[in-house]
């Protein structure tokens, strides 16, 4: 079996950049790598992503969560599981921790609700991360990065445009999850430049998988 490494953090934390760099590094040392993301990295998932993030229609929080879980189940069965069974390493931009942080916590659906957590597990179809990297960045810095990206022409999503308090709840939820599962979820200080953050990522992965 391969390995599943998930990249988590608030919008603007740099996780997507680090995923690409990590893929290049692991490929250079001989690992077979698949990079993927949620929501939207299947044909069906792309349609779900449009519903979720375009802002054309705004789902109520309960509907939003269920759409994310539907995307995840499709994604796991169609992309993640087959890759792991081939022995590939899968690097995934967002997974269940994002649903917990954004929907259960920030949307106030009930981050401690056992039934909702069981629903997250159900949508994983038996696939849990071997390692989760949480890119921790103060909300003020993350919002400034997002502002700069928008000025450069990148279109924001509906979730990007949420209120400051929403993004603060997201960050707090990631911190709580990392504290609850220190064996799986490792904090990366995302304040520094790209290279310093990359070095942290390499150290964590080398240590975890004895590379």
- Point out the annotated binding site: 9-16
Structural contact between residues 127 and 4, judged by C-beta atoms closer than 8 angstroms: yes
Q: Cis ω on the peptide bond leading into residue 122 (within 30° of 0)?
A: no
Integer angstrom CA distances of residue 115 from 71, 104, 109, 175: 19, 11, 11, 21
3-state secondary structure of 39: coil
**Pair of tokens at residue 95:** 């997974």
CA distance 204 to 133: 9
- Point out the annotated binding site for ATP: 9-16
How big is the CA angle at 81 (ends 101 and 116), to the nearest 5 degrees?
30
């Amino acid at each position: 079996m391969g390995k599943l490494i998930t990249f988590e953090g608030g919008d603007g934390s740099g996780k997507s950049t680090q995923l690409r760099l990590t893929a290049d590094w692991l490929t250079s040392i001989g690992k077979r790598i698949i990079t993927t993301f949620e929501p939207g990295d299947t044909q069906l998932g792309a349609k779900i992503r449009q519903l979720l993030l375009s802002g054309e229609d705004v789902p109520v929080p309960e509907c939003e969560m269920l759409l994310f879980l539907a995307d995840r189940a499709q994604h796991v069965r169609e992309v993640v599981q087959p890759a792991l069974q081939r022995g590939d390493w899968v690097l995934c931009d967002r997974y269940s921790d994002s649903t917990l942080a954004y929907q259960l916590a920030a949307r106030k659906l009930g981050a401690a609700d056992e039934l909702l957590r069981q629903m997250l597990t159900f949508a994983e179809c038996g696939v849990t991360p071997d390692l989760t990297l949480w890119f921790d960045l103060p909300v003020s810095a993350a919002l400034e990065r997002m502002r700069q990206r928008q000025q450069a022409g990148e279109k924001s999503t509906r979730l990007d445009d949420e209120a400051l308090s929403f993004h603060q709840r997201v960050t707090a939820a990631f911190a709580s999850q990392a504290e609850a599962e220190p064996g799986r979820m490792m904090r990366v200080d995302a304040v520094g430049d790209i290279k310093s953050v990359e070095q942290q990522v390499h150290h964590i992965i080398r240590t975890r998988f004895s590379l």
